[in-house]
């Protein structure tokens, strides 16, 4: 079941809000010895960050033209 994927489409605002909530839920967790759950959540945060950066780059590119 771990290899199955779930795709969700979010607005930029929704993605940023979810990212912040996930970050807050793991903020007190250890960076040196995180739980498996924390590792998974931090992977999702990184994935959201990557997509938000792509959107920002696209937005900047379209305003420069």
Cα-Cα end-to-end distance for the chain: 45
Q: How much is the pLDDT for 5?
A: 92
Q: How confident is the model at residue 4 (pLDDT cuts 50, 70, 90)?
A: very high
Q: Which two tokens stand for residue 17?
A: 């809000």
Is the Cβ–Cβ distance between 16 and 42 less than 8 Å? no
* Model pLDDT for residues 8-60, shown as the tens digit of each residue: 999 999 999 999 999 999 999 999 999 999 999 999 999 999 999 999 998 88
Q: How much is the pLDDT for 65?
A: 59
- Evaluate if pTM is beyond 0.75: yes
CA–CA separation, 15 and 42 (whole Å) = 14
């Amino acid at each position: 079941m771990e290899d199955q994927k779930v795709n969700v489409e979010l607005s930029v605002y929704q993605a940023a809000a979810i990212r912040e909530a996930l970050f807050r839920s793991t903020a007190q967790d250890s960076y040196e010895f995180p739980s498996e759950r924390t590792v998974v959540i931090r992977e999702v945060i990184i994935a959201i960050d990557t997509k938000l950066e792509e959107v920002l780059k696209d937005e900047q590119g379209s305003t420069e033209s």
